[in-house]
Structure 1
Amino acid sequence: MIKKIKLDKYEQTIETALAAGKFRRVKNFAAEKNKLVKAAQNTLNKMRNINLRVSIRDLMKLKSRVEETGIPYQTLVRSLIRQYTSGQVQLQV
């Protein structure tokens, strides 16, 4: 079952034109598709800086624990975020 998404006026115009056959596939469709897929992947892989408010005590504990592993604490935090968002780590509140 396809979920209906409410389209705005511009999106509905595009849908109507598409249904009427007003769009044609570009000649080099496969190459264009690959180019756009790579652009989308690159966009998702970009890094963005964020600011976190962490108590000095927690930051000191974090830094002392990562010294045991030999990786930078920011790398550990990034890894934990990635694991949480992928469902590998569960948060207990």
Structure 2
Amino acid sequence: MMPIDDDEREILNAYEKGKLASIATKSELARFKAVARATGIKDRRVNIRLSSDDLNTIQAKALEQGIPYQTLIASVLHKYVTGRLAEKL
């Protein structure tokens, strides 16, 4: 895991002291919960072939983020199909 910077430490300290409060409305929280529930349901299996270089890079990026590489791949695909992954121009 990467070390946290001063800004992150300040946020963490405020959270641990109970100084932070949610600004989300009840409807937003309900929508977030529904999206999280739907995203968490993994009922299908897919096998794909990747180049060794691509897989090594994906695994390295996942390690940097502290998540399994399969989770990173699923997240990227989910963002793409929901239109939240934009191509750099």
| TM-score normalised according to structure 1 size | 0.46
Structure ID, larger Rg: 1
Structure scoring higher RCO (CA < 8 A, sep ≥ 6) equals 2
| TM-score normalised according to structure 2 size | 0.48
